[in-house]
């Protein structure tokens, strides 16, 4: 059963096309990721599916309910955590939770079991103002508020942006446990490494879906020869790599560069000799397996 159905949705803001005829189906209990850079259209799609804005064309349903006709019913069965921290910063943790529970006609006590796994991390600070919480604790509070009314579908718009690595890991562990409870989760992120934590992903750029599949399947379809290259002069290395025949693409990845090559035109030893001729030292070239980010860059 498809819990979320998106059919040929388009949306423009003036001359900017935020979404361009996108479609996807998301099943019950699925952890589905929208993976793409800022401005790709992720937030616009979230706002359409949570009935906050209208699409220019196309249709969408949540739990079989039309996002235009049945918007009141949808708002009661979904939880939405926007990209920016949107809770009341002058209210305490407990006051925020109480307020959001009351909006849906419930209480923290009635639905405590729904949020216990997450809320217990911040409950010792329930008298602290939300604006005084750390980034990771703010995200846990926002997620708790989005879950307090027992939604069947959860929308999380870039929930780990600006959060430290430890809190990011904890957050995704929480999502895994929520998924085990049967909650359907749609999460967007610009962190490509988080894609592998989803059941399926949609790679999105400029308002269009480039690929929808499992992370493993997307990586398995990558058919380029991929090397990671580093030297003692990384800034010059990038420029030099882009001018060597046989190198098809070059992108900076952390403290190395990832390149794709024409195997019949260039070997590792030949590339080392070329780079040594450009005064590079401590040259290291290693064949590697592709990541989701490599796959995304290949689709550009």
Domain count, the chain: 2
User: Is 153 found in the same domain as 248?
Assistant: no
Q: Report DSSP state, residue 158.
A: S
Query: CA–CA separation, 13 vs 20, rounded Å?
Result: 12
User: Is 248 found in the same domain as 114?
Assistant: no
Query: CA–CA separation, 194 vs 111, rounded Å?
Result: 29
Pair of tokens at residue 87: 């809770």
Instruction: Supply the pTM of this predicted model.
Output: 0.89
User: Is 160 found in the same domain as 126?
Assistant: yes
User: Is 251 found in the same domain as 165?
Assistant: no
Instruction: For the chain, 300 residues long, give each residue's pLDDT as a single digit of tens.
Output: 799 999 999 999 999 999 999 999 999 999 999 999 989 999 999 999 999 999 999 999 999 999 999 999 999 999 999 888 788 999 999 999 999 999 989 999 998 888 888 888 899 999 999 999 988 889 889 999 999 999 999 999 998 887 788 888 888 988 998 999 999 999 999 888 899 999 999 999 999 999 999 999 999 999 999 999 999 999 899 999 999 999 999 999 989 999 999 988 899 999 999 999 999 999 999 999 999 999 999 886
Q: Confirm if 80 and 137 have CB atoms less than 8 A apart.
A: no
User: Is 210 found in the same domain as 232?
Assistant: no
Q: 24: domain range?
A: 2-220
Q: Confirm if 191 and 1 have CB atoms less than 8 A apart.
A: no
User: Is 213 found in the same domain as 241?
Assistant: no
């Amino acid at each position: 059963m498809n819990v979320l159905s998106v059919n040929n949705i388009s949306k423009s803001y003036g001359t900017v096309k935020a979404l361009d005829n996108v479609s996807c189906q998301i099943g019950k209990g699925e952890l589905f990721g929208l993976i793409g850079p800022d401005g790709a259209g992720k937030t616009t799609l979230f706002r359409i599916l949570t009935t906050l804005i209208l699409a220019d064309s196309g249709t969408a349903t949540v739990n079989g309910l039309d996002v235009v006709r049945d918007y009141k019913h949808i708002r009661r069965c979904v939880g939405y955590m926007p990209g920016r921290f949107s809770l009341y910063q002058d209210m305490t943790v407990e006051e925020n939770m109480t307020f959001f529970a009351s909006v849906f006609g419930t209480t923290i006590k009635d639905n405590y079991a729904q949020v216990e796994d997450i809320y217990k991390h911040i409950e010792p600070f329930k008298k602290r103002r939300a604006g005084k919480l750390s980034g990771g604790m703010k995200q846990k509070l926002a997620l708790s508020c989005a879950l307090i009314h027992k939604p069947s579908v959860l929308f999380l718009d870039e929930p780990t942006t600006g959060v430290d690595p430890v809190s990011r890991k904890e957050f995704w562990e929480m999502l895994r446990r929520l998924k085990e409870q049967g909650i359907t989760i749609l999460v967007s992120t610009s962190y490509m490494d988080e894609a592998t934590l989803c059941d399926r992903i949609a790679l999105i750029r400029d308002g269009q879906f480039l690929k929808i599949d499992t992370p493993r399947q997307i990586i398995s379809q990558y058919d380029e020869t991929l090397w990671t290259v580093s030297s003692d002069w990384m800034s010059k290395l990038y420029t030099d790599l882009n001018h060597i025949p046989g190198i098809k693409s070059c992108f900076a990845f952390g403290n190395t560069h990832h390149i794709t090559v024409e195997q019949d035109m260039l070997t590792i030893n030949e590339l080392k000799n070329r780079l040594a001729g450009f005064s590079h030292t401590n040259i290291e070239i290693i064949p590697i397996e592709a990541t989701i980010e490599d796959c995304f860059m290949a689709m550009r």
